[in-house]
Amino acid sequence: MAHKFSFYNTLSRTIEEFIPNEEGKVSMYTCGPTVYHFAHIGNIRTYIMQDALIKALEYCGYDVKRVMNITDVGHLSSDADTGEDKMLAGAKREHKTVMEIADFYTKAFFKDFDAVGNKRPEVIEPATNCIPEFIHMVEVLLEKGYAYVAGGNVYFDTSKLQDYYVFSSAIEKEQLAVGVRDDVEEDTAKKNKTDFVLWFTKSKFEDQALKWDSPWGVGYPGWHIECSCISMKHLGEYIDIHCGGVDNIFPHHTNEIAQSESYLGHRWCKYWFHSNHLNDRAGKMSKSKGAVLTVSVLQEKGYDPLVYRFFCLQSHYRKPLEFSFEVLDNTVTAYNNLVKKVEALIAADEKIKAAADQNKEDIAAVLEVIRNSQDIDENVKKEFEEKFADAISNDLNTSMAVTLLYDILKADTNAATKLAVVDSFDKVLSLDLIGHALADDSADIDPELEAFIKDAIERRAAAKKAKDFTTADAIRDELLAKGVEIKDTREGVKWSLV
């Protein structure tokens, strides 16, 4: 039985208990990147929070299958089908072909996507792979009377729907309608302002590089159709969760629902998960605005990509998050302190320490020893794992999950238990603290210090035996002055670096 899981569903505008179509299984779709430029750290925030969602669901006992598209055609600079073709603009900017641009930025995207600890979706499909599927969906929409041909393009007729603005309250609907009415660039072929392009043949871009034959003439697909088709191709007619950033709600996801449900004749996706934006002090981050701050750029500046993940996990996905190097620097300190604590835990458990010394390069081998340690207090571990599952299943409360990480490190239990819990939490957090602790040479305890600690502990034990508590306390203070804290536990004296 999976753990109860709730999160905010944009469709119902409430936090809802998640009930998948098939017990224990989750079909999930994620809108992928438009590969005309680098993905900035804001885009990557969205993918980190989605990764946390997937891993949280898995932690709670669900089996997740996730599909993601790569937008390599059809996305105009305004999401409402106006402006320049983003891919074409990228190709012109860099004097390359559209396919070269797509290839280069897809690779760059996955480099950063992987670096922050994200798991790749089970299926990744570029839009240009699925042209026949798009054409088929457009044909069916025309047959069913939900689409029309005008001025050479095929449009979706939003007036055929009872409720087009599915995500919006009455007030928001009014505001959106005004926004759409005021849209600067008017397409006179549209019957209704909210209608959107399913297939372009009358391209305003004479030099549009990617064109395909279709029943309506040579052309290319509109942006929204790709997500509906790619999702149905791999996940079938019913999906559980669809993810994106808040900017995707309107018009992209609104249009995806319009065309998918008209095509299918039934409800399509039950839960819509939207994460909020990352802003810098100047406002919203944007790919089209000048220099792009990417995870790779952070890396070049010396930041570990997992520190950026840690930064993201400490705030709630539904809140806007402001980025600054000042806060990132504080996150570096916090992350390094966690690594040091984990190192001290490794050093404090004889068997785990021996495994770490033997297998410096082989993290998996050390993790095996941690997981199979006979010293783990299973009750404490279970208690923490339950608290953790409660946090992440409560509208993906990742900051509470991070707090629990600090709690276990402070808890009154042995090193093996702490390490086992840190390892367990990492299934979702993916901060790789144990891996970093093993890899960190600077963290290697100086053998001289280690010998000193051992000696001091022995001297203190002797002093205590002789009831010389003044000397015993002085030895403890001496150790503390060297950054070593000792504790008397049932299993004997334990020490850690502070």
Tell me 120's DSSP state.
P
285 binds ligand AMP (CB under 6 A): yes
245 binds ligand AMP (CB under 6 A): yes
Contacting Zn ion (CB under 5 A), which of 2, 11, 31, 415?
A: 31
Region 166-225 residues binding ligand AMP, contact defined as CB under 6 A: none
**390-429 mask for ligand AMP (x: CB under 6 A)?**
----------------------------------------
109/112 Cα distance (integer angstroms): 5
Q: Which residues contact 408 (CB under 8 A, 6 or more apart)?
A: 384, 418, 421, 422, 425
DSSP per-residue letters across 412-456: SS-HHHHHHHHHHHHHHH---HHHHHHH-GGGSPPHHHHHHHHHH
Secondary structure (H, E, C), 382-398: HHHHHHHHHHHCECCCH
278 binds ligand AMP (CB under 6 A): yes
Span interacting with ligand AMP, options 140-148, 277-285, 301-309, 413-421, rule CB under 6 A? 277-285
- Letter for the amino acid at 381? K
Phi, psi (degrees; rounded to nearest 5) at 397? -85, 80
Nearer to ligand AMP, 46 or 231 (CB): 46
- Letter for the amino acid at 408? I
Q: Which residues contact 201 (CB under 8 A, 6 or more apart)?
A: 152, 153, 154, 214, 216, 217, 218, 219
- Helix, strand, coil shares of the chain, percent, nearest 5, are 50, 15, 35
Residue least distant from ligand AMP (Cβ): 245
Q: Supply 77's token pair.
A: 């600079």
Q: Which of ligand AMP, Zn ion, none sits in contact with 33, Cβ below 5 to 8 A by type?
A: ligand AMP
Q: Supply 492's token pair.
A: 């004997």
98 binds Zn ion (CB under 5 A): no
Nearer to ligand AMP, 312 or 484 (CB): 312
Other Cβ atoms closer than 10 A to 363: 17
Region 195-234 residues binding Zn ion, contact defined as CB under 5 A: 227
73 binds Zn ion (CB under 5 A): no
Q: DSSP strand E in 327-385: where?
A: none
Other Cβ atoms closer than 10 A to 328: 17
Shortest distance in whole angstroms from residue 31 CB to ligand AMP:
5
| 3-class SS of residue 159 | helix
Instruction: Single out the residue of 164, 222, 221 nearest to residue 192, CA to CA.
Output: 164
- Contact between 29 and 231 under an 8 Å Cβ cutoff? The reply is yes
Nearer to ligand AMP, 286 or 471 (CB): 286
Number of residues that bind ligand AMP (CB under 6 A): 16
Nearer to Zn ion, 227 or 229 (CB): 227
138 binds ligand AMP (CB under 6 A): no
Instruction: Single out the residue of 63, 50, 45, 53 nearest to residue 6, CA to CA.
Output: 53
Shortest distance in whole angstroms from residue 187 CB to Zn ion:
21
284 binds ligand AMP (CB under 6 A): yes
Tell me 252's DSSP state.
I
309 binds ligand AMP (CB under 6 A): no
Shortest distance in whole angstroms from residue 284 CB to ligand AMP:
5
Region 44-83 residues binding ligand AMP, contact defined as CB under 6 A: 45-46
Q: Which of ligand AMP, Zn ion, none sits in contact with 227, Cβ below 5 to 8 A by type?
A: Zn ion
Q: Which of Zn ion, ligand AMP, none sits in contact with 277, Cβ below 5 to 8 A by type?
A: ligand AMP
Shortest distance in whole angstroms from residue 285 CB to ligand AMP:
4
Q: Which of ligand AMP, Zn ion, none sits in contact with 45, Cβ below 5 to 8 A by type?
A: ligand AMP
Contacting ligand AMP (CB under 6 A), which of 9, 10, 27, 34?
A: 34
28 binds Zn ion (CB under 5 A): no
Q: Which of Zn ion, ligand AMP, none sits in contact with 280, Cβ below 5 to 8 A by type?
A: none
CA torsion sign, 109 to 110 to 112 to 116? Answer: positive
Nearer to ligand AMP, 292 or 416 (CB): 292
Shortest distance in whole angstroms from residue 258 CB to ligand AMP:
19
DSSP per-residue letters across 190-203: -SSTT-EEEEESS-
Span interacting with ligand AMP, options 205-213, 216-224, 241-249, 382-390, rule CB under 6 A? 241-249
Q: Which residues bind Zn ion (CB under 5 A)?
A: 31, 227
Note the residues at the interface with ligand AMP (CB under 6 A). Answer: 31, 33-34, 42-43, 45-46, 244-245, 247-248, 277-278, 284-285, 287
